[in-house]
Amino acid sequence: MQNTVYDQDALLAVSENAGDLILTAEFTKYHHTRKFNVYLCRKSDPESKGKIEQVVKFVKNNFSKNRVFDHLSDWNQSCHAWLKRTGNYKVHHNTKKRPSEVHALEKQHLKKVSGTYIFANVSTPSITRNIHKDNVIRYEGNRYSVPKGTYRADAPNLAYLQEEDGWLIIRLKETGMELAKHRISEGKGLIITDPSHREHSTSKRDLLIHQIQETFIDKENIQWLIHKLKERYPRHLVDQLKVLQQAIRIYPNHCEEALSEMKKLGMTSANDFRDIAHALSVQYQKSSPKIVELNEKYKDLSAPERSEDIYLKVLSGGENE
């Protein structure tokens, strides 16, 4: 069985898993129909990839460049003529042989493949694309969003795409549930997003808000601050809530006063709350040094223990004896 060498391309292969090839569904059906061995170039391996890339570059720069063609059949006819007189006739720089002569020797060992092939029998309406870390897939020169959290480091991160009446439908499985749906853009270099895909997890946000509100006695003031944080930091609300929660843990005795001071001064940042609470804590420690010193002085002293007889005498009314 003959080998066919391919460069790694998203249309052909999903990945080369330590030598176990994971091909796309469409190319797998084509491969099984044609019955040939696939020799897939390894990633970042110039010795194998260069053989393919140099051939493509040779054809582009020496035949396609600066030529005008009316249609595909004209291009194919001109290409065969160029290969016969130039491409396959020139002596190869490394092998020192003409490709046409080498092909004549190898031709007798090649397996003949069917000249007829019905693509409709093996093609499917979906194609595959990789899901990137920013939760987008690339298609026809544009980027389309998928829900936040779709990309996972421990997952294949492969999406199945299907065009339907001008819409791009994205699924995680070829016949699975619809993950995202976008109107296909006619432009290039655009980012097409669904606002719902960029929303933060409401359960995590709401849990933080609930925990913070339960800490404060003055519900009106804390609701005011939460409202201001939502307005000012819509993209970083969870981060602001975490700063607020940490400040509450560090300065539990100064939270109510810090919140009141914030409202008076018109400050609307969790960092401001933390700084005010810290300042109040420092001010409190400076204003009561004697109490601290007194506690340090008598920290090793303990109250004297009395015998049970003394308490019995007091209870019986004999404390004056």
pLDDT digits (tens, 9 = 90+) for 175-195: 778 889 999 998 999 999 988
Give dist(CA 244, CA 13) in Å, integer: 48
For residues 170 and 223, membership in a common domain is answered with no
Per residue in 48-106, pLDDT (tens digit) is 666 667 778 888 888 888 788 888 888 888 888 888 888 888 888 778 888 888 888 88
Q: Is the same domain home to 172 and 223?
A: no
Total domains, the chain: 3
**Whether residues 190 and 262 fall in one domain:** no
Q: Is residue 177 part of a domain?
A: yes
In a domain, 316, yes or no: no
The answer as to whether 249 is a domain residue is: yes
Closest CA to 24 of 137, 122, 121, 118: 122
User: Do 58 and 98 have their domain in common?
Assistant: yes
Owning domain of residue 166? 125-198
54: in domain: yes
Position 311 scores a pLDDT of 44
Asked if residue 302 belongs to a domain, the reply is no
Is 311 inside a domain boundary? no
Query: For residue range 98-142, what is the model confidence (pLDDT) as tens digits?
Result: 888 888 888 887 777 665 555 555 445 568 899 999 999 999 999
Residue at 304 is within a domain: no
For the segment 136-176, what is each residue's pLDDT rounded down to a tens digit?
999 999 999 998 888 888 778 899 999 888 999 998 887 77
The answer to whether residue 315 sits within a structural domain is no
pLDDT above 60: residue 315: no
Q: Are residues 31 and 115 in the same domain?
A: yes
What average pLDDT does the chain have? 80
pLDDT digits (tens, 9 = 90+) for 253-296: 999 999 999 999 999 999 999 999 999 999 888 876 555 455 55
- 131 shares its domain with 166: yes
Same domain, 15 and 100: yes
